[in-house]
Structure 1
Amino acid sequence: MKGGLLFDLRRLHLAVEQASRPQLEPLGLTSAQAVVLGWLLEPGHGEVCASHLHRQTGLSRAAISATLKHLQRGGYLEVAACPGDERKKRIVLTRKARELQAALASCAAQQQERMCAGLTAQQLRTFAECLRRMQQNLDQTRAGPVPGTRRNQ
């Protein structure tokens, strides 16, 4: 895989993970654990089931399962059966997880600041719009042909 947008996105993703390690290691967290905790700590997310977490974070089901087990062993969350469906697991954050909220937010802000250095606000807005559109295209592809492609014409 040489060059191209997919390669660039993959390299950026790996660079973000590598750059975050020095900040996350003192907290005792991996990148995946920080993503999951960060998402769960956002206002309005509260208690969710693991299947919802998989869809929202983009992590695989296997990665979510392993990450939740590590976070549970670390005392960051508790897992209970979802009401009405014993197969689904409800995730409940502990005080220990909530105490990391400021540190995780600081890590994310510093990481974003470093990553976006030298870019204008307009460039960042355009990039964010492009990323959202790409995600929508991929979501629609799973549901059927993408509007504006030759498959529809």
Structure 2
Amino acid sequence: MRHLGLEVHRLEKLMARQRGYSAAHQDADRQTGMHGYLLRYLYENQERDVFQRDIEKAFSISRSSVTVTLQLMEKNGLIRRESVAQDARLKRIVLTQKARDLHRQIEADILAFESNLARGISEEEQEVFLRVAKKMQENLREDLAKQGISICKGGDCE
């Protein structure tokens, strides 16, 4: 008898333990989970002005939630709010150097982690694994939907 769920659970636990030793992830984990998503969003949109309303739309979250999160990120030195010339009431949100450095370190850690994870596994084996994992996710989503259980959180459906 195969115990797929048990093996997936064991893999998840080992991955979480390995990730826990990353200095950048430890620093990021001290922030809230939403901070990581916002860091990535702001990093990927550095070339344009990003305002609070853009974040509200992108993440389908309320103005008050975004306000609280941005205030904490500002307090932690991850963002600055800057006035824009065309409308002094608008404040664009800009990553600090500390946030850019943290984001780059997390990305480097992820690449190293995935490289280590895939060590000794051929490209073909990795493709098979990804297809199987996606099929398992589909199976679980279908079962949850049949039970009337939503897998959406905060407007974000997996």
TM-score (norm 1): 0.51
Work out which of the residue numbers 115, 123, 142 in structure 1 matches 2:144. 142
Compute the RMSD of aligned alpha carbons.
4.2
Partner of 1:82 in structure 2?
none
Partner of 1:52 in structure 2?
59
Q: Is the 8 A contact 2:35 2:69 kept in 1?
A: no
- Output one character per residue of 1:77-121: Cα deviation in whole Å (capped at 9) or x when no partner: 479xxxxxxxxxxxx562343444332221111111122211111
TM-superposed CA distance for 1:141, in Å, is 2.4
- Output one character per residue of 1:119-152: Cα deviation in whole Å (capped at 9) or x when no partner: 111121222222222222222223227xxxxxxx
Partner of 2:7 in structure 1?
5
TM-score (norm 2): 0.50
User: In the alignment, residue 30 of structure 1 is paired with which amino acid?
Assistant: D
Unaligned runs of 5+ in 1: 55-65, 80-91, 146-153
Matches within 5 A, 1:1-150: 4-20=6-22, 22-25=23-26, 28-30=27-29, 32=33, 35-36=36-37, 39-40=40-41, 43=44, 47-49=54-56, 52=59, 71-77=73-79, 94-96=95-97, 97-144=99-146
The alpha-carbon distance between structure 1 residues 108 and 67, as it changes in their structure 2 partners (threshold 3 A), is farther
User: In the alignment, residue 141 of structure 2 is paired with which amino acid?
Assistant: D
TM-superposed CA distance for 1:23, in Å, is 4.2
Higher relative contact order (CA 8 A, sep 6+): 2
The alpha-carbon distance between structure 1 residues 4 and 101, as it changes in their structure 2 partners (threshold 3 A), is closer
Give the whole-Å Cα distance in 2 for the aligned partners of 1:119 and 1:139.
Answer: 28
Partner secondary structure for residue 105 of structure 2 = helix
Partner of 1:148 in structure 2?
none
Unaligned runs of 5+ in 2: 62-67, 82-92, 148-158
Give the whole-Å Cα distance in 1 for the aligned partners of 2:109 and 2:140.
Answer: 29
